[in-house]
A and B are shown apart, each in its own frame.
Chain A
Amino acid sequence: MTNDIIILPLVVHFFLSILLMFFWNKLNFQKIVSVVGNAVALGVAIWAFTFVYNNGTQIVESGDWPAPFGIVFVGDMLAVTLVLLTAIAGFAVSIFSTISVIKARLRFGYFSVFHFLLLGLNGAFLTGDIFNLYVWFEIIIISSFVLISIGGEKSQLEGAVKYFALNFFASMIFLTALGVLYGLVGTLNMADISLKIAEVKDTTLVEISAVLFLVGFGIKSAIFPLYFWLPASYHTPPSAVSAIFAGLLTKVGVYALIRIFTLIYGGDSFLTILLLTLAIMTIFSGGVGAIIQNNIKKVFMYFIICHIGFMIGGLALFTEVAMAGVIFYLIHDIIIKTNLFLISGLIYRIKGTTNMKKLGGLYANYPKLSLLMAIPLFSLIGIPPLSGFWPKISLILASFNAQEYWFFGALIFGSLITLIVIAKLWSEVFWKNQPEISFPEKFIYFNQLRFGQKFTFIFPIAFLTFVTLYIGFGAEHIQQLSQRIATELINNELYIDAVLKR
């Protein structure tokens, strides 16, 4: 019974999303239930995390069917860490949503769909069955389609069409890969696949299925030639929605890549070269894209792409040091990217625009708030001792040890370009004098809000900044955690033994 704790995050969000449907028009009630529910989910996630941290990998067999016959939920360290991060990001974003998303949007079941999205994310992290992973991915993308198009503005609908088309295509490629893999091994349990894939004689077909998975998850996680939907769609919905997308949706693709390529296709030399090349190109194209953008939301979007490359490259190196770097970067990235989009939402509320050309003088008007926003921005660059710095040490060390100097150069380039763009953003938005532009009249600015509303805006950002500071200053704990996860991922027998109870 005790190991059922790992599926409690799913139960909480499932219950909440259905409950909220019954109170469709009671928006204030929905806001309270959503925030309280997310606080409960955070508590449950912490409980599950500490339970797995102390007692090792936990398995829940649905319907008591033993693996590999039934669907299993596997709470290993990686999964519960990501569930915890999802809960942290979800808690912050739900508080931010209560104030920043307008009523016209909330009225169409925003919070209910939001909890379905979190349900899908938690499910994707916890499942041990590859077809079940597909189903969770579908729950994620259906919820995200609704969230991206809710409100029905012109740019939103355009973004939604592009987002829909490519994500649907990615799902179909994923399903194709799954079909090919099932045809080869005749099982869907990931631990069981991992054992049986070694016995398959036709290695060409194995590689084809691997590349199909790479394309499917690559579209979802926005790696190099497949990321064009992201800059076309992520900035169109409200900032709260962008924040949860930026923090978690692309990362669930990265999670799936990590899971598939450590467990099933580990150490294939062809895939290593392919992943490494894609990672380098992702870092370059994301970084160069960020330089030329004038809208801060678009700058942050290109940073998402750029920093996905760090993780994919580390995954390609497939050493323990590199994997520890990847996991640390993933932990840092989920928190920081969510926070960045919340910050862009706050800047929009203060100034009524997110265009750098029209912004300015934020530091003169709000010095304390600017300092709060400075911490996540500097963490993103990786200024020691803030959180972005530590995983880069591991990644650079690993690339140097593996003598992958191109990736080494790309890492330095990606960090440098982040520094340049953030420096430009800082001087344009915070230090430059406010340019003479006409502000929209019918807009409720930040300084017109009551104290409680201001607090609701700032609290989620402060909360995530606090988490970022903990990751930076408590790096020893996070590094130990990352190394433990990396060891579990590299020695995948641990996972297989736990699932199949050998």
Chain B
Amino acid sequence: MEIILAVITGVLYASGIYMILRRSMVKLILGIILLGNGVNLLIFLLGRITKGEPPIIDSAEKVLEGVYADPIPQALILTAIVISFGLQSFAIILVKRTYKVLKTDDLDQLNTTDEDS
């Protein structure tokens, strides 16, 4: 299971960064979405995957003994998903506005900020 997840994480990172490096703005958005998912999977994976051991303390005991699934990475991922959802929706609107103003999807055409004015 870990190996499959590790491979998927790697593929998501690689394809995300590849898409960001492309010149099209739509691919930029796809890239950040893929990269965001890759990061979430990485955190999930690094929190150690434990099957069928919920972190619930028995009524007879005071502390948790033995192996148990760590709930913190899931909380972190939930937060990260919400944040990256907000950012991605902002990015889509931003790219749409930029496309309307500039009439181009090519990032290489975005060079008025470097002109001497």
Knowing A135-B79, A135-B83, A180-B46, say if A168 contacts B32 (CB, 8 Å): yes
B43: which of A141, A149, A179, A236 is its contact (CB, 8 Å)?
Answer: A179
Q: Is there contact, CB below 8 Å, between A164 and B39?
A: no
B110: which of A135, A162, A179, A183 is its contact (CB, 8 Å)?
Answer: A162
Q: How many A-B residue pairs have CB under 8 A?
A: 100
Q: Is there contact, CB below 8 Å, between A172 and B36?
A: yes
Interface-located stretch among A152-160, A244-252, A265-273, A450-458: A152-160
Knowing A142-B87, A169-B35, A175-B39, say if A182 contacts B112 (CB, 8 Å): no
Counting chain A CB atoms within 10 Å of each CB, the highest count among B25, B72, B86 belongs to B72
**Which residues of chain B from 92 to 110 have a CB within 8 Å of any chain A CB?**
94-95, 97-98, 101-102, 107, 110
Contact-residue size bin, chain A (C-beta under 8 Å from the other chain): 35 or more
Chain B residue nearest to A182 in the complex (CB):
B46
Q: Is there contact, CB below 8 Å, between A158 and B113?
A: yes
Bound-state CA distance A272–B95 (Å) is 40
B61 CB-CB contact with A under 8 Å: no
Bound-state CA distance A295–B48 (Å) is 53
Q: Is there contact, CB below 8 Å, between A183 and B79?
A: no
Chain B residue nearest to A179 in the complex (CB):
B43
Contact digits for B11-45, partner A, Cβ 8 Å, 1 yes 0 no: 00000000010000100100010011001001100
Chain A residue nearest to B76 in the complex (CB):
A131
A176 CB-CB contact with B under 8 Å: yes
Q: Is there contact, CB below 8 Å, between B28 and A165?
A: yes
Bound-state CA distance A157–B98 (Å) is 6
Bound-state CA distance A158–B91 (Å) is 12
Bound-state CA distance A73–B87 (Å) is 26
Chain A residue nearest to B13 in the complex (CB):
A176
A419 CB-CB contact with B under 8 Å: no
**Chain B residues in contact with chain A, CB under 8 A?**
20, 25, 28, 32, 35-36, 39, 42-43, 46-48, 70, 72-73, 76, 79-80, 83, 86-87, 90-91, 94-95, 97-98, 101-102, 107, 110-114, 116-117
User: Could you give 15 example pairs across A and B, Cβ below 8 Å?
Assistant: A131-B79, A135-B83, A152-B101, A154-B112, A157-B101, A158-B98, A159-B113, A160-B94, A161-B110, A171-B87, A172-B39, A175-B80, A179-B42, A179-B43, A182-B76
